[in-house]
């Protein structure tokens, strides 16, 4: 069984994040997944399991960007799990950005987390951010070819884009492959796991930047979604909640583990 190494301090920070999400939900609707397995499996573990598949693993002072961060997931979770990393969390909704900024400060992450209220297409054309990141992630954001167009322009040479998905098909893969080629990327890997507690099957598609993203991309605001670089008939925008409607069987040989504050419950992270 694969385990994600987290220290007690990191686990406590994730518990603090859970409390902050509950509090901010009373001001703006960030996410309904804030209690029990909804948080510790469908949010935290779903954010972290791809880290166990990275070869070489993410280490050191990498720079990451989370596009469409919403309530700060997975960006804040990844910032907690990777203590030397620095992150830019991006969303186009001002109230969500204000909440995420407050949560980052409450977690003591303000020195490592920047929150930007901007459209992804505009960010990808801003010289301050274009080509500046080692890793770019998108969870619950648009069909894969659209999300790839948001992320690829932000990657530096050899940078990696992680596209978190629910269901994934051969048609989806072909469409992403077609889009990636136009963006100067290749599909480096496709990984999957079954989340515990009957939370369904999840996939992560890992793109690698083989060259600087061609100048025409990203296209103008709204164009990537209206005219995707490629389409698959089975492709649809996944959301974190869609993970709850995936495969219902639990396969402990591939599921990762998660635990609750204080160390109780059936799932437990490995503490380093």
Q: What distance in Å separates the CA atoms of residue 31 and residue 211, rounded to the nearest whole number?
A: 36
Extract the tokens encoding 272: 């380093």
Q: Are 67 and 120 in contact (CB under 8 A)?
A: yes
Q: Is 120 annotated as a binding residue?
A: yes
| Helix-, strand-, coil-residue percentages of the chain, each rounded to 5 | 35, 20, 45
Extract the tokens encoding 141: 């954001």
Q: Across the beta sheet with 63-67, what order do the strands follow?
A: 113-117, 86-91, 63-67, 133-139, 155-165, 200-209, 185-195
Phi and psi (nearest 5°) for 159?
-65, 160
Q: Are 209 and 185 in contact (CB under 8 A)?
A: yes
Which residue spans within 124-222 are E strands per DSSP?
133-139, 155-165, 185-195, 200-209
Q: Is 188 annotated as a binding residue?
A: no
Radius of gyration of the chain (CA): 17
Q: Is 102 annotated as a binding residue?
A: no
Q: What distance in Å separates the CA atoms of residue 60 and residue 12, rounded to the nearest whole number?
A: 22
63-67/133-139 β-pairing? parallel
Bind-site residues for S-adenosyl-L-methionine = 68, 120-121, 139
Bind-site residues = 68, 120-121, 139
């Amino acid at each position: 069984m694969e385990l994600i190494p987290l220290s007690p301090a990191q686990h406590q920070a994730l518990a603090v994040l859970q409390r902050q999400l509950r509090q901010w939900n009373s001001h703006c609707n960030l996410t309904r997944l804030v209690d029990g397995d909804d948080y510790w499996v469908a949010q935290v573990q779903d954010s972290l399991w791809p880290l166990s598949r990275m070869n070489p693993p993410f280490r050191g002072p990498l720079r990451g960007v989370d596009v469409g961060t919403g309530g700060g997931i997975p960006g804040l979770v990844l910032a907690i799990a990777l203590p030397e990393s620095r992150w830019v969390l991006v969303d186009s909704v001002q109230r969500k950005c204000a909440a995420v900024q407050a949560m980052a400060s409450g977690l003591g992450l303000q020195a490592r987390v920047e929150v930007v209220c901007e459209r992804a297409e505009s960010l990808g054309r801003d010289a301050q951010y274009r080509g500046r990141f080692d890793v770019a992630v998108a969870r619950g954001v648009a069909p894969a070819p659209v999300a790839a167009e948001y992320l690829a322009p932000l990657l530096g040479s050899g940078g990696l884009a992680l596209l978190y998905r629910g269901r994934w098909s051969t048609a989806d893969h072909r469409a992403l492959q077609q889009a990636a080629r136009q963006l100067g990327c290749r599909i480096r890997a496709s990984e999957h796991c079954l989340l515990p507690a009957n939370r369904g099957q999840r996939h992560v598609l890992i793109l690698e930047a083989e060259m600087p993203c061609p100048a025409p991309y990203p296209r103008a605001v709204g164009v990537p979604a209206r005219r995707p670089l490629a389409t698959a008939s089975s492709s649809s925008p996944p959301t974190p909640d869609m993970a709850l409607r995936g495969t219902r069987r639990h396969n402990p040989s591939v599921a990762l583990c998660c635990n609750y504050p204080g160390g109780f419950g059936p799932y437990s992270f490995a503490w380093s």
